Structure 1
């Protein structure tokens, strides 16, 4: 794969066709392309991923239908914590100790571990964590639960293979991360950015500027409505327009720490629509998170100033739980 022929979104985020990943030479070229992307923007867009278009469309349809239900029906699957329905998606910027008004979105979240037994979930750390909660599924739409579970299975398979390509990109054996994700605590989250019928508060966005916490994020975003932006350098925000049939991939804090600063966990946000735009927007990230007890330590010397400010070794679950609690902490 010649870097001079790679297309980009907004001139910054590369678009990578991963359909060649089932061949040996194809995996070598893809690993090199992923390494280049993760050393610069920390983001890339994938096509040729193999997740059925019919499943993606069914996921979009049932999820949109859920968010358009009356408030009392959605509230039937609402509770404190990052699971089930939330009428507020939290204040994402607080995960970086930045104070802003709440994000302008609703959300619904489910965890891979949410289908385990109560006893199994209680063993996933001796502290509060969202992945220790049982999933709450709405009764309507009727296919909601089955579609989400099918989608999570497909995204898990894709994410696991992407992590193997990441390992190759870092000069490691492809199975290097397998035992760090074999009991993963991943989550699937839908963000519904409802129509903005009144002016936002100062500093209020659909999603405030933040980095993701964990391993890999695999994001579906609507093809026809933009809003996602990635920070380039100190103060330049680049649009990441939707490419039909694609997923947006970005690495999180833990994977960046694993690389010792070779790869970057990049700030991103979702901006508000134009003043006259009253459309809604749906995005669905799958957060592929390590095992709760995975030990994350740099594979190579820390090279960036930002990484010197982070602990050299963290326990994955403790880090992610701390970040999540900040996200939903009451504004001060």
Structure 2
């Protein structure tokens, strides 16, 4: 598959190519000036070095300072699909500000939480301190690389969402009955709901099975959701109101359950293969940007054929797939991509994953097919934070 080149100026051709790829394959490759091949190589190299060199050099005291029971802003460990001896190590950061509680406190307050329940959790800053104290040079290089990459991924994500809005033909809201041109497009419709830049960047390390001793905290990826029907490309904003959805369980920000089929060629690896490290799931994000090392290992699922296809690695491009927020927003027209990770060869695997999240207090208003009656709509509006893990 060729890559889609994006920039701030929306190209209708690139917009259609991007959405067509998401619908046909469940993913697409992106090239963007904000993420150069040099930056991609650097973030993957420093990410691997964190787990093979920097983190092991820390004392137990400093390691404990990095660990997070929330699976966010710090070090934590998944239980992989092969059981409790299958450890997947993760280091996560969010937007690097000194008062991160301001990103989510409005949502939690309006949702009726007591301040003591949420403030200690949403106030957690990125834990650079132990790294800079023990290994100033390596820690600073790791910090600067991740922060540069975080900002670059935000820029890529926003430009991707502008192109998606263009391809979907999202119309601007009408004020006081104003007449809009037939070709008017609200390119910033999705972007405006991501204004807080409140995302999650994770470096994930998959060591060979049995090579890493168990440690706490251990988080299991879980969750549940429904499938929505698809519709034509011309979409408009929904005006009917409805009750919000209930919160969905998920231990790791950005991960949830398996989803619907994709048109893909089958893989020779059965779904029950012991080499599977992260079982079939879809991302709890708007979109996800992935940089994986040359080992690869990502596979997307075709439910009709009950088989997976291995996703090839393009080392000079980002791989993008749709998340569950985008599926809900488009009422299933763009579906969240079901995928899994398995071991390839005998070496360790490292990937860097950027989960693009909407603002916690953003209202996700599922769009209707053109000419639909809002009174007959089945998809309910909800606040994004209602779908996020409440522990985050």
State the TM bucket, normalised to the shorter chain: 0.7 to 0.9
Q: Residues 111 and 131 of structure 1 are in contact (CA less than 8 Å); yes or no, is this contact kept in structure 2?
A: no
The structure 2 residue matched to 1:120, chosen from 93, 99, 102, is 102
Q: Which residue in 2 is equivalent to 1:136?
A: 127
CA distance in 2, matches of 1:108, 1:197: 20
Aligned to 2:301: 231
Aligned to 1:221: 292
Alignment partner, residue 281 of structure 1: 349
Find the residue that maps to 2:276 and give its secondary structure.
Answer: coil
State the alpha-carbon separation in 1 of the partners of residues 348 and 358 from structure 2. Answer: 32
2:123 matched to 1:55?
no
Cα deviation for residue 122 of structure 1 reads 5.9
Distance across 2 between alignment mates of 1:124 and 1:316: 12
Match of 2:67 in 1: 78
* Inter-partner Cα distance in structure 2 for 1:84 and 1:178: 24
**Residues 102, 38 of structure 1: alpha-carbon distance in 2 compared, 3 angstrom cutoff:** farther
Does the Cα contact within 8 Å between 2:3 and 2:317 map onto a contact in 1? no
Deviations 1:67-97 (A, max 9, x none): 1132635444112112244351356x8xxxx
Relative to the length of structure 2, the TM-score reads 0.66
Matched, 1:169 2:167: yes
Report the Cα distance in structure 2 between the residues aligned to 1:41 and 1:100, rounded to whole angstroms. Answer: 30
Note if contact 2:90-2:204 (Cα within 8 Å) is conserved in structure 1. yes
Give the TM-score normalised by structure 1. Answer: 0.77
Following TM superposition, by how much is the alpha carbon of 1:207 offset from its aligned partner in structure 2, in angstroms?
Answer: 1.6
Alpha-carbon distance between aligned partners in 1 of 2:51 and 2:348, rounded to the nearest angstrom: 10
Partners in 1 of 2:14 and 2:101 — Cα distance? 41
What are the within-5 Å matches in structure 2 for residues 270-309 of structure 1?
270-274=341-345, 277=346, 279-301=347-369
1:5 aligns to what?
none
Say which of 92, 101, 105 aligns to 1:109. Answer: 92
Distance 1:181 1:23, change over 3 A: closer
Find the aligned partners of 1:193 and 1:178 in 2 and give their Cα distance. 33
Preserved CA contact (<8 Å) 1:104 1:207: no
Match of 1:150 among 145, 148, 157: 148
Deviation at residue 116 of structure 1 after TM alignment: 3.8
Higher helix share: 1
Report the alpha carbon displacement of residue 131 of structure 1 after superposing the two structures with TM: 5.5
**Aligned residue runs from structure 1 range 255-274, under 5 A:** 255-274=326-345
Q: Is the 8 Å Cα contact of residues 288 and 321 (structure 2) preserved in structure 1? A: yes
Deviation at 1:185, TM superposition (A): 1.8
Tell me the distance in 1 between the aligned counterparts of 2:343 and 2:365.
Answer: 37
State the aligned residue count: 289
| Deviation of the 1:23 alpha carbon | 5.6
Flag structure 2 segments of 5+ consecutive residues without an equivalent.
Answer: 171-185, 212-271, 371-377
Which residue does the alignment assign to 1:180? 193
Using the TM superposition, give the Cα deviation of residue 311 of structure 1 relative to its aligned residue in structure 2, in angstroms.
5.7
1:46 aligns with 2:45: no
- Distance in 1 between the 2:322 and 2:123 partners? 23
CA gap of 1:122–1:242, structure 2 versus 1, over 3 A, is: closer
Greater shift, 169-178 or 134-143, is seen at: 134-143
Larger radius of gyration: 2
Question: How much does 1:48 deviate?
Answer: 4.9
